[in-house]
Amino acid sequence: MLLEVENLNIHFKSDRSKNPIHAVRDLSFSVKQGEMLGVVGESGSGKSITNLALMGLLPDSSLVTAKKAEFNGHNLLSLKDKQWQKIRGREVAMIFQDPMTALNPFLSVQFQMVETIKAHMDISKKDAIDKSIELLSLVGIPSPKDRLKAYPFELSGGMAQRVMIAMAISTNPKLLIADEPTTALDVTIQKQILDLIKMLQERQNMAVVLVTHDLGVVSQYSERLQVMYAGEVVESGPTKDLISHPEHPYTHALLGSRPGALVDNLRRVPKTILPSIPGIVPSFNERPIGCQFSPRCEFVTPECQRSPIPIFESEPAHREYRCIHPIEHVVIK
């Protein structure tokens, strides 16, 4: 395993109450070398802060604990700032939703790329420039030599994201964390960027964690899928199985509420009422004792509300779900 996380918990100190916010609870997952893990889930469910925790980038107001958080032989929880600098950007790199805010607007692409490359590799400026040109052409930027001289504001959103990817992969990282990398982009550009990430994953045998709110995106690109709800993983497994046979009622409802008859296996008649999930995600101070999804779940029973729901595993299929009435069984009943 390249990355192994067991029982990750993230708390934030809160201004409003004595009790810290329990933002991520008992999150366990792993990523193999060269595979793509897709992460989807409700806004605020903890996708981004999990990634930031793995990069050692959460603010001081946070408390991160875990039974295990191991990446490429490093124990992520005991790293000092100095050690982080060696790993971050080198063995694990991250790209974000808004490439424009991640680039320094006052510095040319060349300056930023050369700095990044030289910070991690002992090479001359000239070699760093050559390498930058090579990377820019790898990520599909036309006339890379000229583009190198450009400033971020001269780039379109798609181009800026390509530059970010070029910088992220400049050190051949083992893991690329892509947090909503295409949410701000048009669909035709989105497809090009995702195809590019997929190509790099396969070519460099690089693992990828792809966070998105679009089930369509993960269904096409990731081998495995993890679904988050209110700070917990509610379901994970091979993408194909999970999408064709969701076990958790939240995944089931999420798939069901997707509009569009473009979706082959879920035919929707246009202009008809969509199956929707009533209600909203509970706020931190009204989190249920039992299943986090229970207030919105159509299969809820008193048992669901009594105590936290553990993770169940179905071994041969490598499926995991946090539900005592998984769908397949409900259907049989």
Partner 1 sequence: MNNILEVKNLNKVFEIKKFLKKSLSLKALSDVNFTLGQNVTLGIVGESGCGKSTLAKVLTQLEIETSGEIELLGKKYKDYKPREFHSLIQMVFQDPYQSLNPRKKAFDIIADPLRINTDKSEEEIRELVYSMMKKVGLRAEFAQRYPHHFSGGQRQRLGIARALMLRPRVLILDEPVSALDVSIQAQVLNLLLDLQKEFSLSYIFISHDLSVIQHISDKILVMYLGRIVEYGPRDEIFLNPKHPYTKILLESAPTLTVGKQTKEIPESAKGEIPSALYLPKGCAFSPRCPMVTPECLQAIPELLNKDNRLVACFNA
What is d(CA 70, CA 77) in angstroms, rounded to the nearest whole number? 8
Is 300 a binder of ligand SF4 (CB under 6 A)?
Answer: yes
The reply on whether position 297 binds ligand SF4 by CB under 6 A is: yes
The residues pairing with 312 across neighbouring beta strands, listed in sequence order, are: 321
Residue 42 region by backbone torsions, left for phi larger than 0, else alpha for psi between -120 and 50, else beta: beta
Q: Of 115-123, 203-211, 251-259, 302-310, which segment contacts partner 1 by CB under 8 A? A: 251-259
Distance CA(69)–CA(8), nearest Å, equals: 8
**Out of 249, 252, 254, 277, which residue is the one contacting ligand SF4 (CB under 6 A)?**
249
Residue 89 falls in which region: left (phi positive, over 0), alpha (psi -120 to 50) or beta: left
Residue facing Mg ion at closest CB distance: 48
Residue in 161, 169, 179, 201 with CA at minimum distance from that of residue 32: 201
Its sign, for the CA torsion 39, 41, 46, 52, is positive
The option from Mg ion, ligand ATP, partner 1, none interacting with 23 (CB < 5 to 8 A, set by class) reads ligand ATP
Non-local CB neighbours of 200 within 8 Å, separated by 6+ positions: 138, 165, 169, 176, 206
How many whole angstroms separate alpha carbon 133 and alpha carbon 252?
A: 45
List contacts with ligand ATP (CB under 6 A).
12, 21, 23, 41, 43-49, 59, 61, 213
Per-residue mark of binding to Mg ion, 1-40 (x: CB under 5 A) = ----------------------------------------
Which of 110, 112, 239, 294 touches partner 1 by CB under 8 A?
A: 239
Task: State which residue, 61 or 307, has the beta carbon closest to ligand ATP.
Answer: 61
157 binds, among Mg ion, ligand ATP, ligand SF4, none (CB under 5 to 8 A by kind): none
Least spacing, CB of residue 182 vs partner 1, in Å: 9
Q: Are 113 and 130 in contact (CB under 8 A)?
A: no
Structure tokens at 81: 């700032």
Asked if 293 interacts with ligand SF4 (CB under 6 A), we say: yes
Structure tokens of 319? 């499926």
* Residue 275 is a binding residue for partner 1 (CB under 8 A): yes
Indicate which single residue of 48, 171, 192, 314 sits in contact with Mg ion (rule: CB under 5 A). 48
SS3 3: strand
The closest of 247, 229, 235 to 294, measured between CA atoms, is: 229
Q: Which residues bind ligand SF4 (CB under 6 A)?
A: 248-249, 291, 293-294, 297, 299-300, 304, 309, 323-325
Q: Which residues bind partner 1 (CB under 8 A)?
A: 42-43, 140, 142, 156-159, 185-192, 195, 213-217, 219-220, 239-240, 243-244, 253-255, 257-266, 268, 270-278, 280
